[in-house]
Structure 1
Amino acid sequence: MWATPDKQRGIRVSKEELLCKNSCGYYGNPAWQGFCSKCWRERARANGAHGQDARPSDDGTPLTFSKFEEKKNTEKSRRINTMRRLFWGSPSPQKQQESPEGFGAALKAYQSLEPGDFTGFLKLLRSPASKCLQSRCTTFLNTMEAYHELPVQKQSDYVQDFYQSFAKYFKGSSDSQVTQIMEHLEKLIMTRLYKWVFCHDSCDDEHRDLTLQRRIRSLNWVTPQMLGVPFPDKETAVTGDPFLPAITAIIEMDAKRAPQDKLICVTKCSQHVFEALSTSNTEPANADDFLSGLIYVVLKANPPRLHSNMQYVIRFGLPHSLMAGESGYYFTNLSCAIAFIEKLDGPALNLSAEEFEAYMQRQHLPRSASTREQLCCDTQNLLEELKGRQEKLDRGVDVLYAELHKWVQAVNSQLDEALTKFAVVEKEIMAQVELADFESSSPHNVCPKEEDQVVLVDQEHGPKDTHC
């Protein structure tokens, strides 16, 4: 499936390799051995039924153990039949004929829902006209939670069957309207069942997550040039990694609960990859560039629980979201990228087996990695130099602060001395002023005026009136 990358186009995969091996026209998936979800389920169910019919009657086990197995299988079948009756009720045709007059108006209301109006869908589902649909959903959810210990593949089959039975209520609507309604239903059902079915104990998803995470971590030395990813040159005015938005989008997938929300993250990631390729390459990005860029994003991001998230979407997502359309194409490419990473070897990167092993053992580093190390070393030296300059500046500031403190003390001392001298001078001036006032008020210093009449005291003749 994989071709050796060249300098221009990197990893190559034809469109036919992305389609279902059954030639049904839908997208296949490595997780389904190249089949689409529909063909894979039909094939799995057929093999399961054949395996039950072909089971030998005498397998050499003791009679008591055979009876125990028979009793166990009978009990399991009884529980499954009970679940089916709880999920879909009796197959009586009268159930299909029961259609209240208000339900027709409710169907029109469902058809008028705006895209993404999940709140409006919940309001319609709670309306009296949708009581039968609400009852089906409630019964299904309660029963799935009660039987959450069933194998995850069996739970997946029940959820997919419930999707089909629920869609029959809207068979008179257009395909786009039914798709929109079913997306709302999927979000309602799987948001509630997420904690019960995600990374289920009956499967090895957690082990596969750890294995894939270690594998991606061991390949963190792979460069865009090795994958043939168009990357901006040093002369290109691009700040930072142009694939950073794509890395952020694929990491956010683990925080979502509904399969369609996880698919939206995959779609956003893929769109950001195309945007990064358009800024890094003068030519339009093609499918080969996109797959190479997506592989690089996965290696750089190392998304948490990637395998579990992919399997969750495969098991409980709506089939039309994975089999066709933009989301199906992007999800298939992501599955191919994961399969490529799991089988990555030297020839896929234009390396010999010895070179690949040396890189895996960290004995050699790619040229770009050496350049990054040199850049890191230069940056570290620059930081050390800046640190020394900063310490020198801090010492200068301390000296300046000490000198400023001494200057302030000197100024304060001079000011106190000046104030003291000023007080002495002020006292002297006040004394002189008082003396001058006293002298000016003395009789000998009175300046007589002709128009003023005063009484002069004569020591010999006594007081007498006179005019000065």
Structure 2
Amino acid sequence: MRYRQNQLLMMENIEQFETRLRSESATCNRYLMAVCVRLFFEKRQAKLAEFQEEFARLTVSDDKIDLIEEFVEGLMEELLTPGAILHGMPEWQAQEARLSIERILLTRLYQQVMFPNEDADLSRDTVLSEHISKLQRVISPSHPALCIPQAYLSEAPWSFSQQQLSYISAYKTPREKLQCVIRCISSIMSLLHMSSGRVPAADDILPVLIYVVIMTNPPFLLSTVEYITCFIGEKLEGEEQFHWTLFCSVVKFIKTMDYLD
């Protein structure tokens, strides 16, 4: 029996080690690709400046998105041409390069794409943030407005999920912000499954997610929702679409909540 326990423990340690190695390998690959793309951009500063000037002249969101996608595609063609950095590289490296290009571009354009209406967007975000701050004073996991089943309350207040969502403002690209939402909801699903022993449905997740969003109160929430929806909303499918639809529904619901105990 002891031999079997030691064997199982060793297998678990090996699996954890393999997981850590894969994670570190992916991190190294992303960093390497980011360095290659930065070197690629250093020789194209004039082209990048021209793109930014053209982007600043546009006023319609669809035109801005089209311009970014067209510019990214042009850069990818350069990267993949014979003799270029990525020529002959596998698909995953090309995908990492695309993400790195988007990250660099959207970091430079962040204020323009995140707050296209400038002060009006910031003012709207402030109003919602203040509204959520008031909700924080009266809301609790057992609040009747949430109707969270008793079986799920053992894992409250879902601090890890709040932490994952709180990272959303640290990222610049819509895809990275979306991943924060997905990690948040995925952790909620895991915790609810642990509490009840069954796979939670959307109706189980929603009230908990409402509580998590309220307690996290991410900055610039409305602008973030519009930013992600505008740039990648139509490209989402499967689980990503499911998670994003849940999150958007929660934000809409929170906007209509009152402060009654």
Range into which the TM-score falls when normalised by the shorter chain: 0.5 to 0.7
Matched, 1:206 2:122: yes
Supply the distance in 2 between the matched residues of 1:278 and 1:192 (Cα, whole angstroms): 41
CA distance in 2, matches of 1:253, 1:342: 19
| Structure 1 residue 280, shift from structure 2 partner | 3.2
Counterpart CA distance in 1 for 2:112 and 2:202 is 37
- Over 3 Å counting, the alpha-carbon distance change for 1:208 and 1:337 in structure 2 is same
Distance 1:247 1:123, change over 3 A: closer
Q: 1:264 to 1:126 in 2, by over 3 A?
A: closer
* 1:284 counterpart SS class: coil
What is aligned with 1:332? Answer: 245
Structure 1 position 181 matched with structure 2 position 97: yes
Pairing partner for 1:269 from 184, 188, 192: 184
**Structure 2 residue identity aligned to 1:292:** P
Q: Which residue of 1 aligns with 2:166?
A: 251
How far does residue 340 in structure 1 lie from its aligned partner after superposition? 2.2
Task: Flag the structure with more relative contact order, 1 or 2, with Cα contacts below 8 A and sequence separation at least 6.
Answer: 2
Q: Aligned pair 1:197/2:113, yes or no?
A: yes
Alignment-derived partner of residue 281 in structure 1 = 196
Asked whether the equivalents of residues 232 and 279 of structure 1 are also in contact (C-alpha less than 8 Å), the reply is: no
State the AA in 2 paired with 1:120: L
Distance 1:332 1:212 in 2: 19
The question of whether the paired residues in 1 share the 8 Å contact of 2:33 and 2:93 is answered with: no
Question: CA separation in 2, counterparts of 1:233 and 1:327?
Answer: 24
Amino acid at match of 2:190: E
CA distance in structure 2 between the partners assigned to 1:327 and 1:295 by the alignment: 18
Task: Give the equivalent residue in structure 1 for 2:149.
Answer: 230
Q: Is contact 1:230-1:277 (8 Å) kept?
A: no
TM-score, normalised to structure 1, is 0.41
Deviation at 1:152, TM superposition (A): 6.5
Structure 2 spans left out of the alignment, 5+ residues = 1-24, 82-87
Q: 1: CA distance between counterparts of 2:135 and 2:233?
A: 33
Q: Which whole-Å CA distance do the structure 1 matches of 2:76 and 2:127 have between them?
A: 38
Q: Tell me the amino acid that sits aligned with residue 59 of structure 2.
A: P
Distance 2:42 2:159 in 1: 43
- The 1:324/1:184 distance shift into structure 2, 3 A limit, reads farther
| Equivalent position of 2:16 in the other structure | none
Tell me if the contact between 1:259 and 1:317 (Cα under 8 Å) persists in the aligned partners: yes
Give the Cα–Cα distance (whole angstroms) in 1 for the partners of residues 125 and 147 of structure 2: 27
Q: Matched residue of 2:227: which SS?
A: helix
Runs of 5+ unmatched residues, structure 1: 1-113, 345-355, 366-468
Number of aligned residue pairs: 224
The aligned runs of 1:37-436 (5 Å cut-off) are 115-116=26-27, 117-125=29-37, 138-146=45-53, 148=56, 150-151=58-59, 153=61, 154-167=63-76, 178-201=94-117, 204-220=120-136, 221-225=138-142, 226-231=145-150, 241-316=156-231, 320=235, 323-344=236-257, 360=259, 362=260, 365=261
CA positional deviation for 1:270: 1.2
Distance 1:278 1:318, change over 3 A: closer
Deviation at 1:285, TM superposition (A): 1.1
Question: Over the residues paired in the alignment, what is the CA RMSD in angstroms?
Answer: 3.6
Which structure dedicates a bigger proportion of its chain to helix?
A: 2
> How high is the sequence identity, in percent, across the aligned residues?
24
Q: 1:121 to 1:146 in 2, by over 3 A?
A: same
Q: For residues 95-130 of structure 1, what are the alpha-carbon distances to aligned partners after superposition, in whole Å with 9 as ceiling and x for unaligned?
A: xxxxxxxxxxxxxxxxxxx74533322443467xxx
